Amino acid sequence: MREPDAPARPHVSVVALRAAAYAYEDGPTVLSGLDFDVVDGRALALLGRNGSGKTTLMRLLSGGLRPAEGSLTLDGTPVTYDRKGLTRLRTTVQLVVQDPDDQLFAASVEQDVSFGPLNLGLPDPEVRARVAEALAALDITPLADRPTHLLSYGQRKRTAIAGAVAMRPRVLVLDEPTAGLDPDGQERLLDTLQGLRDAGTTVVMATHDVDLALRWADDAALLTPSGVRTGPAAEILARRDLLDQAGLHLPWGIAVGELLRAHGLPTGTTEGPRTAEELAALVARPASGADDV
Ligand SMILES: Nc1ncnc2c1ncn2[C@@H]1O[C@H](COP(=O)(O)OP(=O)(O)OP(=O)(O)O)[C@@H](O)[C@H]1O
Ligand SMILES: [Mg+2]
């Protein structure tokens, strides 16, 4: 098996932190000696216990915070934290914060989503086209004229994401985007993110949901007290030692896969069944399927 945190050679990083450290004023060091890559075209899930530094890391990647030590690079070039450098970064990387109320401020949905493109100085037709595209992508076109303070929580989350999508970033960084959404809302958001991925957007998502991470992500990064461990999601999320350090449980599919294997039953893929339907299909198979293991 490939060492999970070995560098993925053919992959190209869009943004990367090198030997980065960060401490809040009067606070302890949150991250130190951190090497972290956001690889072009890969979907990355960022996991770790409360207070492990996920939000801090995302703010470092999107330029809201500046590393106290080390550097952030964009396409291999160090980011400069002047106006020009930050504009270059923010047109590439867009962060959607966890609480939509920290992000939304305009009177209506349309005004909020158009704020970023207008701020880029784009011509009106271009702004309108981007806003229409972002509203459609997030399935909130009928809400365009609604006052933001009258939206439900899930609608506010979608509006906040639409604001970032309207910037057409190469990298979309989402801080716990599914938290607080109902199951149908979560599924619809995952479909939306799949559409953005298919269109070429690199997506980074912080989540506490290991099952969602396994199902959705190409790669997983676990923030543990001994540092960040990154690799293919199916490998990283099968590492009990790392999951323990990060205060997380084994994903359901991997746990069921282990159980099936222990009983000499087929497991399908190495990560095991991902849904109850996949499990039902496996156990309905004739016993000769055990050869698949
Ligand atoms: N503005 C701040 N000032 C001082 N300390 C802060 C600030 N923001 C975060 N911290 C501290 O930094 C550490 C990392 O916080 P961070 O918000 O990055 O964690 P997290 O992994 O996103 O947690 P959660 O899962 O609860 O969202 C925590 O110990 C937190 O208390
Ligand atoms: Mg957080």
Cα–Cα dist 89/225, whole Å = 29
Q: State the CB neighbour count (10 A cutoff) for residue 248.
A: 20
Residue 262 forms part of a structural domain: yes
Say how many C-beta atoms besides its own lie within 10 A of residue 152's C-beta: 11
Looking at every residue in the chain, the average pLDDT score rounds to 90
Does residue 135 lie in a domain region? no
> Looking at the domain assignment, is residue 47 inside a domain?
no
C-alpha distances (whole Å) from 80 to each of 62, 184, 279, 283 are 12, 41, 50, 56
For residues 252 and 258, what is the distance between their CA atoms, to the nearest angstrom?
Answer: 10
Which atom of ligand 1 lies nearest, measured to the CA of 52? Answer: 21
**CB count in 10 Å sphere of residue 229:** 19
The kind and range of the H/E element at 19 are strand 13-23
- C-alpha–C-alpha distance, residues 35 and 24, integer Å: 19
Does residue 260 lie within any of the structural domains? yes
Kindly report the pTM of this predicted structure: 0.90
Pocket flag, ligand 1, residue 52 (CB < 6 Å): yes
Probe ligand 1: pick from 31, 55, 62, max atoms within 8 Å of CB?
A: 55
Residue nearest to atom 26 of ligand 1 (CA): 50
- The pLDDT of residue 291 is above 50: no
DSSP 147: B
- Name the band, by pLDDT with cuts 50, 70 and 90, for residue 12: very high
Is residue 259 in a domain?
Answer: yes
Closest residue by CA, ligand 1 atom 18: 53
Residue 123 confidence (pLDDT): 96
Rounded to whole angstroms, how far apart are CA atoms 59 and 94?
10
Kindly list the strands in the beta sheet with 69-74, ordered across the sheet, starting from the edge strand earlier in the chain: 29-39, 13-23, 69-74, 77-78
Identify the domain containing residue 271 by its residue range: 251-293
Please say whether the beta carbons of 69 and 57 come within 8 A: no
Inter-axis angle of helices 153-165 and 109-119, to 10 degrees? Answer: 20
Residue 147: both structure tokens together: 């006052």
Instruction: Quote the CA–CA distance of 196 and 73 in Å, as a whole number.
Output: 23
Q: Residue 117: is its pLDDT beyond 50?
A: yes
**Quick one: which ligand is closest to 30's CA?**
1
Q: What is the pLDDT of residues 237-258, one digit of tens each?
A: 999 999 999 999 999 888 888 8
Q: What is the pLDDT of residues 194-238, one digit of tens each?
A: 999 999 999 999 999 999 999 999 999 999 988 999 999 999 999
Evaluate: CB of 105 within 6 angstroms of ligand 1.
Answer: no
Nearest Cα neighbor of 71 from 13, 8, 129 is: 13
The number of domains in the chain is 1
Q: What is the mean pLDDT of residues 125-133?
A: 97
* 122 three-class SS: coil
In a domain, 274, yes or no: yes
Q: Tell me what the mean pLDDT of segment 263-290 comes to.
A: 72
pLDDT at 135 over 90: yes
Given a cut of 90, whether residue 101 has pLDDT beyond it is yes
Specify the pairing of strand 44-48 against strand 219-224: parallel
Reply yes or no on whether the pLDDT at 6 is more than 90: no
- Asked if the structure places residue 279 within a domain, the reply is yes
Q: Choose among 34, 30, 79, 2: nearest CA to 221.
A: 34
**Does the pLDDT of residue 168 top 50, yes or no?**
yes
Neighbour-count burial of 284, counting CB atoms closer than 10 A to its CB (0-12 exposed, 13-18 middle, 19+ buried): exposed
pLDDT of residue 5: 52
Classify residue 223: in a domain, yes or no: no
